[in-house]
Amino acid sequence: MIPFGNMMQNYYRSIAKEAVEARAKRINAIKTEEHALEEVNAAKARLAKAFGAFPERVPLEPQLAGKITRDGVTAEKIIIQVRQNIHATMVVYRKEGTPANEKQPVVLQLCGRNANGKAAGNGQRLLLTLARAGFTAACIDPIGQGERYQYELGTDNPVRQHNLAGKLLSLENELFCTWRLHDAKCALDYLLSRDDVDTSRVGVCGTSGGGTLSSYLFGLDERIHAAAPACYLTTFWRNFKNELPTDSEQIPPGLWADGGDMADFIIARAPAPAILLDVANDFFDIRGTAESLAEVKKVYSALGYEDNCSMYIGPGNHCLSAELRRATFDFFVKHFLDHTPEYEAIEPWEDEALYSTPNGKILELENECSICEYFENKAGLLKSRRNPTAKSISDFLKKALRAAPDDNTVPEYNHSLGEGNDGYKTSEFVIESEENAFAILHMAEPQLHSFPQREEVTLYVAHLNAFEEMQKIKEYSGLLAALDVRGIGQSRPLSCSRREDYFDYYDSDYFYDATGKLLDQPYLGGKVRDLRRTVALLRANGCKKLTIKAHGLGALVTLFALGIDPHLADSVRLTGLPSSYGSFTGDTDVIWPQSHMIPGMLEVFDIPDLCALLGETTDFKAEAFLDRMMQ
């Protein structure tokens, strides 16, 4: 075996390192107020570009679903409309007996990835304490959590809810980070519409996924005056080096490539007060938290407000601990109150007490639209609008996959001794697709040291492992070769958890796709490049009749390569393609990985569209299509 298990980590590391070094040089050069303001404005622009356009606001139509009073606190259970016929559940706490017209500072908490959403115990503890101290304190259920569960996946893990929604929405050119942030903005709209809220004293906080969203809301909404994100804000570089996959909403596309990082969510609002909170044993590396604070301090200090940004690291593991709750409380008291109230710890209420819906399920509301129905309706709309042509598909794929002019030039290669198994012997060639990235080409002949000159070749593009799969091929013409594009076979990554299931929703395939999105170097684009350069090498060595066969993920790589260049091969036979991405809706899982779904693809074409076009103009056949579960 050739040891390529670290290839993808090394490939993206070299690209990321350039981004890290360029940013450090720029931040370290900040010396004056003018330089600091330039960085603030640049951060705002980077964030706006990464998150893209937000959906049009719809009338909130707030409904008071109930009110309870306990422990000296009154809680209002609220339902608001965040998109047409899509609602969110909220709870708003105020101190019992506070006059209805008394304007208070408000703190919006955005909760982390807990199954019970706004009812999570530690979040409630903080909000109840803030309310008793004289704040209006509120929390909204994220989509896929609390009363807003969307998918029946046999687990209450909200990460799976988010990542499934994220990968399907991306096909329609929607970002899950923007979806989540839009919900938070709607919650803020509601709070600021209340007569009892002081719109000049507005704070946001949250932990883990809530730390993410509170950072986002602070950075992209100037109605927020102070922020206390917890257990999130480190650096992209630390997450990458620690091989830490992050959720679908934690991947603002292109932000790293554009010179951005997590600290930008604070820098964009300089010099508004912010505190970075974390715990000593967090998987979000606290070294990155300190490094982000140093960047933020550079900007705040140059503006004359160094004391407006700080950091607190509490003891323990990843959670909104008692220490972090107290630090958050003290922060908002300092910046929003003219007195120091007593800190009163209050135990959380039972989940059911906070339900805004009869059974704690928003989807049971009359005419409520699920995210599944939203995806299906938009997929149908996009299908009715698009008019796919060979040119429109090719132009789209070249841009989306970052195809380069030299993707079809002849690459360098190395040879190795190959593998043997039960008498089946091969020769192997390591194709230098680009710097630090290689494809492995197996040939069904032993002891080849020079690249063979053959007029007829059958090239099999593997699903997961070329050497294993090529042994099952019985019908072919000429020399049989089988290709492992990057990330499969011998270059399947050894990083992340290296789970047995390649299609695990949170392992290395997902991790490198996410990294590629942050760095604007698509993982799938590299796979397509591997195939195109392999074909160029075969052609340069005398191949006049090339047949490509492929299955599953390899069939998708081949299909997209053909979308760029329909004449890549003389004959193409594909099996195991997805039947239609646009039809993958409903409340169950979709196994096809995010890494092979192209953002915005359904605006231009779907799988059947490209297959039909290729069938009209080339010797192309596709059969044995697979459903959402790859069956």
Q: Does residue 29 form part of some domain?
A: no
Residue 554 and residue 614 in one domain: yes
Last residue of a domain, one of 370, 397, 412: 370
Closest to 239 measured CA to CA, from 251, 254, 257: 251
Residue 298 and residue 438 in one domain: no
Q: How far apart are alpha carbons 188 and 186 in whole angstroms? A: 5
Q: Does residue 415 form part of some domain?
A: yes
| Weakly modelled stretches of the chain, pLDDT under 50 | 1-2
DSSP 516: H
The pLDDT value given to residue 294: 98
The pLDDT value given to residue 295: 98
Which residues contact residue 522 at a Cβ distance below 8 angstroms, ignoring those fewer than 6 apart?
400, 401, 402, 513, 516
| Helices within 29-69 (DSSP H only) | 33-51
The pLDDT value given to residue 1: 46
Per-residue model confidence as pLDDT tens digits over 155-187: 778 999 999 999 999 999 999 999 999 999 999
Residue 414 and residue 332 in one domain: no
Between helices 209-220 and 176-193, what is the axis angle to 10°? 70
Q: How far apart are alpha carbons 615 and 361 in whole angstroms? A: 46
Q: How far apart are alpha carbons 562 and 408 in whole angstroms? A: 12
Token readout for 194 is: 């209340």
Provide the 10 A C-beta neighbour count for residue 351.
18
Whether the CB-CB separation of 531 and 481 falls below 8 Å is answered with no
Residue 220 and residue 105 in one domain: yes
Q: Does residue 23 form part of some domain?
A: no
Residue 195 and residue 121 in one domain: yes
Q: How far apart are alpha carbons 396 and 42 in whole angstroms? A: 28
Residue 399 and residue 282 in one domain: no
Q: Does residue 71 form part of some domain?
A: yes
DSSP 370: P
Residue appearing with tokens 């803020």: 188
Q: How far apart are alpha carbons 285 and 207 in whole angstroms? A: 14
Residue 405 and residue 488 in one domain: yes
Bond before 271 cis per omega within 30 degrees: yes
Which amino acid appears at position 474 of this protein?
K
With 0-12 CB in 10 A as exposed, 13-18 as middle and 19+ as buried, what is 135?
buried
Residue 225 and residue 84 in one domain: yes
Per-residue model confidence as pLDDT tens digits over 95-112: 999 998 899 999 999 999
CA dist list (Å): 410 to 452, 533, 568: 15, 6, 14
DSSP 541: T
Number of domains in the chain: 2
Residue 307 and residue 455 in one domain: no
Last residue of a domain, one of 307, 341, 370: 370
Q: Does residue 318 form part of some domain?
A: yes
Which amino acid appears at position 243 of this protein?
E
Residue 363 and residue 391 in one domain: no
Residue 418 and residue 516 in one domain: yes
- Sign for the CA dihedral angle at 138, 143, 149, 153 comes to negative
Instruction: Give the residue numbers spanning the domain of 617.
Output: 386-623
Taking the C-alpha atoms of 472, 474, 480 and 483 in order, what is their torsion angle to the nearest 10 degrees? Answer: -30
Last residue of a domain, one of 370, 404, 422: 370
- Bridge partners, residue 226, by sequence: 203
- Hey, which bits of 239-293 come out as E strands? 274-281
Whether the CB-CB separation of 445 and 426 falls below 8 Å is answered with yes
Q: How far apart are alpha carbons 442 and 483 in whole angstroms? A: 6
Percentages (nearest 5) of helix, strand, coil residues in the chain: 40, 20, 40
Whether the CB-CB separation of 438 and 486 falls below 8 Å is answered with yes
Give the DSSP letter string of 109-156: EE--S-TTGGG-HHHHHHHHHHHHTT-EEEEEPPTTSGGG-----SS-
Global pTM value: 0.96
Residue 341 and residue 395 in one domain: no
Is residue 537 classed as helix, strand or coil in its secondary structure? Answer: helix
Q: How far apart are alpha carbons 197 and 350 in whole angstroms? A: 26
Q: What CATH number does the domain containing 138 carry?
A: 3.40.50.1820
